[in-house]
Amino acid sequence: MKIDIVTTRNGVRETVAYDYRPRQDGERPMILDVLLQAQATALPDLAFRYGCRARNCGVCTVDVNGRPRIACRARVRAGDRIEPMATLPVLADLVVRRDGIARQLQGRTTADHRDPDLNEEAPEAYHDLTACIECYACLDGCPMHARNFADDAADAALPDAATGYRWGNPFSLLKLQRLRLDPCVTEDGRQAALDAAIDLGLDACVGCKGCKCGVGIDLKGGVVGELLAAAGDRLSGDGASAD
């Protein structure tokens, strides 16, 4: 079964045609099976992330034919092309630099806002959001995240990754909306979370057709829609999210 794997070593990008050998008749391998076999045979130095092999840890996301897929639980077909996620800078082969996403939330979601009484139950909508495994499939097609790379496309190798991207994404919005649904967070904390969402560029969500979640969370309704509704007319005019 011929599968294309795009590798990047020391900055040099190339496509390797890998011939997957099925382990049983009619096997429809997962992406990760192909990568593990390639590493055990023709490409021993192949770089790729994986963790639990059960779609819980969220680290193995790659692009297949230009769409993000969770490698351990998405199958490939002959002729498929496996590439690193197009939404983040490549470090090597299928490994992208992820930490610019989380770092943008440093200091934006402080614990000081917690209410000391922990014996409060969270609403169902809160638990819907803690299903997020941080696979970053939701960055695909996100106009807010794309702003990070828009200003200076030629020099977009690693914009702000070490300190956190300036502009947000559905994952960061989810983390903020989760705070807003947490019964143990004070009203000030909820307000700070909304302010952070607006500062990260929530205005980019106005009129957007919506984002798609890797594990099926309703991002458009449960996250973006709620934040937009709460922000209301604070998003009118383009000054809301400028530096």
Partner 1 sequence: MTIEVEWRDYDVIVVGSGGAGSAAADAAAAEGARVLVVSKDPIACSDTKISEGNATVRGTVSDADTEQELSDNLRVSGADLPLPALTAAYAKDSRPAYDWYRAHGLRPKINRDRQGPFARPLAKGGHTVARSVGHKNAGVAFSHAAWDAVVEGAQIDYLEDAWFLDLAVAGAENGAPGRVAGGLVYHAATGTLVAVRASAVVMASGGLNTLYFPKTDTMRGNTGDGYAAAARAGADLVDMEQVQFLPFCLTAPASYEGLLVGEPSTASFLGVLRDRHGKVILDGVYLRTRAECSAAIMRAVADGRGTDGGGAYLDLTANARLPRSGKGFMRYLQTSMPSAYRTARQALSKPAVRCEESWEVRPAAHYTMGGIRVDATGASVGGPGDGTAAAGLSGLFAAGQAMGGVFGANRLGSTALTENVVFGLRAGRGAADHARAHPHSAGDDAFHPLIAAATAQFGHGGDQAPALLKLELQRAAWDHIGPARTADSLNRMDAVIDDLADRAGRAAVPDYALWNQAFIEWVELRSLLDVARAVTAAARERDASVGGHVRLDRPQVSILAQPYSTVVRGQTGNGGVLRVQAVRARRPRMPAMRLLAMRLKDAWRKTQAKALCLLPPALLDPILDRRYRAILGPGDAAPAVSPGGPAAAVADAAE
Asked if 69 is part of the footprint of partner 1 (rule: CB under 8 A), the reply reads: yes
Asked if 226 is part of the footprint of partner 1 (rule: CB under 8 A), the reply reads: no
The least distance separating partner 1 from the CB of residue 228, rounded to whole angstroms, comes to 21
Asked if 191 is part of the footprint of partner 1 (rule: CB under 8 A), the reply reads: no
The least distance separating partner 1 from the CB of residue 13, rounded to whole angstroms, comes to 14
d(CA 76, CA 80): 6
Asked if 217 is part of the footprint of partner 1 (rule: CB under 8 A), the reply reads: yes
Which stretch, 62-70, 142-150, 194-202, 231-239, contacts partner 1 (CB under 8 A)? 62-70
Q: What is the size of the binding site for partner 1 (CB under 8 A)?
A: 82
The least distance separating partner 1 from the CB of residue 217, rounded to whole angstroms, comes to 6
> Are the CB atoms for 148 and 166 separated by under 8 Å?
yes
d(CA 39, CA 27): 19
The least distance separating partner 1 from the CB of residue 68, rounded to whole angstroms, comes to 6
User: What are the φ and ψ backbone dihedral angles of 101, each rounded to 5 degrees?
Assistant: -75, -60
Asked if 99 is part of the footprint of partner 1 (rule: CB under 8 A), the reply reads: yes
In angstroms, what CA-CA distances link 54 with 91, 136, 138? 24, 16, 19
Asked if 59 is part of the footprint of partner 1 (rule: CB under 8 A), the reply reads: yes
Of these, 5, 18, 20, 29, which contacts partner 1 (CB under 8 A)?
29
Asked if 166 is part of the footprint of partner 1 (rule: CB under 8 A), the reply reads: no
Asked if 66 is part of the footprint of partner 1 (rule: CB under 8 A), the reply reads: no
d(CA 129, CA 32): 26
d(CA 72, CA 219): 23
Q: How crowded is residue 43: how many other Cβ atoms within 10 Å of its Cβ?
A: 17
- Identify any residues that bridge with 148 across adjacent strands, giving them in sequence order: none
Of these, 63, 83, 182, 203, which contacts partner 1 (CB under 8 A)?
182
> Are the CB atoms for 187 and 173 separated by under 8 Å?
no
Asked if 119 is part of the footprint of partner 1 (rule: CB under 8 A), the reply reads: yes
